[in-house]
Amino acid sequence: MQIVIQSTGNITEYSMIEFQGDLETKSEEALGGKIIGDLHFNHEGNPIMIIGHHILHGKVQDLDKPLVVITKENDGISEINVKYGVTAVIKRKFIFKTRPKPIVGEMIKKL
């Protein structure tokens, strides 16, 4: 069995946010369509993210080794010749390594 991976000819550059832990929704609903939070940048160019009642401080980091996004191409016919197209590449990420700090206050809107 062989899986072929090939560029689709149109590779876009994606971005990525990496942080510790998992995202959770209020009532275990699907994540689709949900607002995650806000992303800002300070004047040094470092990203700041606010998710729920947490604030995270991060850095912009070039990846040592780029990541490519591969998407299965469903020809629907066979499981023998499976093909994935390379659709995007990630060369940089916004990484949040520090522990999220809780935001305290009465008027926090839970997202």
Partner 1 sequence: MNNPSAEVKIKGKKMDRSLQQVNTILNLAKLTESDIKKDSHVLQFIPQILDSKQVKLLEVSKDTLEYINSGECLFIKGNEDAHVIICSNSNSFELKEAETSNSMLLMPSLLQGTLIEDTGSRTLKKQEVFGVYHTYYEMRLTRPKLQSLRNALAKYPYRGKNSEVIKEAVGQSFTELKVMIQASEEEIINQLQEMPAAKVRGKWRLLDVGFLFGWVSYLDSILREKKLSLEEVTLANIENWMGLYDTEDINAKCISLFMEVDGNSLRWKPEAVSQLFALYLLPELRAFDSKDFFTAWQQSMPVGVMTNEEHLNGVALVDYDSNPSLVKYLPEFELPEEINERLDILFRNRAKWTLQSITPYVQPLTDNNLNVAALLTKYARSSTINGVKYYSSKY
CB 25 within 8 A of CB 101: no
CB of 12 to partner 1, least distance (A): 7
Residue from 26, 29, 65, 77 in contact with partner 1 (CB under 8 A) = 65
In angstroms, the CA 106 to CA 108 distance is 6
Q: How many CB atoms lie within 10 A of CB 56?
A: 23
Q: Does 86 bind partner 1 (CB under 8 A)?
A: yes
By the criterion CB under 8 A, which residues form the site for partner 1? 1-7, 9, 11-23, 30-43, 48-50, 55, 65-72, 74, 84, 86, 89-90, 93, 103-105, 107-109
